[in-house]
């Protein structure tokens, strides 16, 4: 144990990448930045926490453009649309990728509120004292993941992530207005269900049935706690997915309509135009 602690304290943050199964990946940006990936938008299946310690980059998250200037923290959540657009030659930092299965297994308290705060405010500043703590955490996590001889390696990793959540990520100010609007457990669960099912289910009654309440009561709760109706939550997720597919893929409009479970292309076109003011064909031409 002393050797492990001494090793962490006496060494800088590691520069190599490491992966643990399908649930955890750790990598540094220097020399191999994640933004070197092709610039096509993609829907994330993992959560990615990026600690940018030097340099800058441009990226789109859910089709909204962000300018990142170190030191800043980027939190990308499963289901978000991510598009790298460029980076400076001195970009450096660390990235931690976590599968949704792994996050669910951690059973973090208040996770859905924190998820929505990070979803809405994915890029935030990092204070110098917190940056030092993050560096230490990353180094500790890396060496724990690297130690394949430890029979409790996965348990160590799980608990280190919990420590980082309790003492780090959960305390960052992702939402200046606070995440109090999501403190109703039914509303939290509704938003979680929408994220899981929006591509197949757009009727409020489906979500009300899942929550064992009436559609009217669900609509009242969601409106009171978020300022948006339940239908608006469902529609915003559906339209974002449709926009990303129209913008970045070569799928036909008919295939996109089918992938989002619309009965036909015409119905999808009317739904999309009502929300955006443009037909799917017109929107695709604007790209």
Tens digits of residue pLDDT in 1-37: 444 444 444 445 666 788 888 889 998 877 555 544 4
Q: What is the pLDDT of residues 160-219, one digit of tens each?
A: 988 888 776 555 555 544 444 456 788 888 988 998 899 999 999 999 999 999 999 999
Residues 161 and 189 in one domain: no
pLDDT value at residue 169: 59
Q: Check residue 219 and give its pLDDT.
A: 92
Q: What is residue 79's predicted lDDT score, i.e. its pLDDT?
A: 80
Q: Identify whether residues 75 and 166 lie together within a single domain.
A: yes
User: What is the pLDDT at residue 201?
Assistant: 94
> Helix, strand, coil % (nearest 5) of the chain?
50, 20, 30
Determine, yes or no, domain membership for 267: yes
Q: pLDDT band at residue 87, thresholds of 50, 70 and 90? A: confident
Tell me the residue range of the domain where 115 lies: 2-171
Residue 130 CA to residue 21 CA, distance in Å, equals 29
**What does the alpha-carbon distance between residue 211 and residue 20 come to, in Å, rounded to a whole number?**
35
146 with 95, same domain?
A: yes
The answer to the question of residue 276 being in a domain is yes
| Whole-angstrom distance, CA of residue 180 vs CA of residue 185 | 11
- Same domain membership, residue 222 and residue 120: no
What's the pLDDT at 182?
A: 52
Are residues 135 and 15 located together in one domain of the fold?
A: yes
Domain membership of residue 241 (yes or no) is yes
pLDDT at 8: 44
178 within domain boundaries: no
- Quote the DSSP letter at residue 181: G
Instruction: Looking at the structure, tell me whether residues 40 and 98 fall in a common domain.
Output: yes
Domains in the chain: how many in total? 2
Does the pLDDT value for residue 249 go beyond 80? no
Structure confidence at residue 35 (pLDDT): 46
**Rounded to 5 degrees, what are φ and ψ at 175?**
-135, 110
**Boundary residue ending a domain (120, 146, 171):** 171
CA distance 158 to 103: 9
Say if 179 falls within a structural domain.
Answer: no
Q: What is the CATH number of the domain that holds 145?
A: 2.60.120.280
Q: What are the beta bridge partners of residue 84?
A: 59
Shared domain check, 86 and 137: yes
Look at residue 260 and tell me if it is in a domain.
yes
Q: What is the mean pLDDT of the chain?
A: 82
The mean pLDDT of 273-278, rounded to a whole number, is 92
pLDDT tens, 148-166? 898 999 899 999 988 888 7
Q: Domain end: 122, 145, 171, which one?
A: 171
Question: Is pLDDT at 50 greater than 80 in this prediction?
Answer: yes
Please indicate, yes or no, whether residues 44 and 135 belong to a single structural domain of this protein. Answer: yes
**177 belongs to a structural domain:** no
Q: What is the pLDDT of residue 7?
A: 45
Residue 264 has a pLDDT of 94
Helix (H, G, I), strand (E, B) or coil at 239: helix
C-alpha 62: how far from chain center? 10
Q: Give the CATH number for residue 227.
A: 1.10.10.60
CA–CA gap between residue 121 and residue 222 (Å, rounded): 20
* Higher per-residue pLDDT: 73 or 39: 73
| Closest among 57, 181, 189, 179 to 123, alpha carbons compared | 57
* Portion of the chain with pLDDT greater than 90, in percent: 32
pTM: 0.69
* Domain match, 132 and 69 both: yes
Question: Can you give the pLDDT at residue 173?
Answer: 53
Taking Cα atoms as reference points, which of 63, 100, 67, 99 lies closest to residue 82? 63
Angstrom distance (rounded) from CA 115 to CA 127: 21
pLDDT class for 108, splitting at 50, 70, 90? confident
Together in a domain, 126 and 234: no
Same-domain status, 47 and 104: yes
Residue 159 counted as domain residue: yes
- Tell me how long the chain is: 287
Name every residue whose Cβ is closer than 8 Å to that of residue 177 and which is 6 or more positions away in sequence: none
Average pLDDT of the segment spanning 38-49: 76
Domain boundary among 171, 202, 222: 171
- Per DSSP, helices labelled H in the chain are 2-10, 100-106, 111-120, 128-146, 153-167, 185-197, 204-211, 215-226, 230-248, 253-259, 265-276, 280-285
Q: How many helices (H) and strands (E) in the chain?
A: 12, 10
Say yes or no: 29 and 102 in one domain. Answer: yes
- In the chain the first and final C-alpha atoms are separated, in Å, by 56
């Amino acid at each position: 144990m002393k050797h492990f602690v001494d090793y962490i304290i006496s060494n800088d943050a590691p520069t190599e990448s490491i992966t643990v199964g399908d649930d955890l990946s750790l990598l540094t940006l220097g020399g191999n930045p994640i933004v070197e990936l092709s610039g096509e938008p993609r829907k994330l299946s993992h959560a990615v926490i990026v600690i940018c310690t030097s340099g800058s980059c441009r990226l789109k998250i859910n089709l909204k453009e962000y300018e990142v200037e170190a030191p800043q923290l980027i939190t990308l959540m499963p289901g978000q649309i991510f598009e790298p657009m460029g980076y400076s030659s001195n970009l450096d930092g660390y990235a931690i990728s976590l599968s949704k299965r792994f996050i669910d297994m951690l059973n973090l308290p208040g996770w859905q509120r924190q998820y929505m705060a990070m979803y809405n405010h994915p890029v935030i500043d990092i204070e110098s004292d917190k940056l030092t703590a993050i560096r230490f955490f990353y180094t500790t996590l890396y060496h724990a993941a690297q130690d394949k001889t430890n029979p409790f390696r996965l348990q160590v990793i799980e608990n280190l992530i919990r420590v980082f959540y309790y003492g780090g990520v959960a305390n960052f100010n992702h939402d200046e207005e606070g995440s109090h609007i999501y403190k109703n457990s039914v509303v939290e669960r509704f938003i979680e269900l929408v994220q899981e099912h929006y591509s197949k289910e757009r009727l409020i009654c489906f979500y009300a049935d899942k929550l064992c309440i009436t559609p009217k009561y669900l609509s009242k709760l969601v409106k009171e706690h978020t300022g948006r109706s339940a239908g608006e939550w469902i529609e915003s997720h559906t339209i974002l997915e449709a926009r990303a597919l129209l913008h970045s893929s070569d799928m036909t409009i008919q295939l996109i309509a089918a992938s989002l479970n619309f009965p036909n292309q015409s119905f999808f076109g009317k739904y999309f135009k009502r929300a955006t003011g443009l037909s799917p064909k017109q929107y695709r031409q604007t790209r």
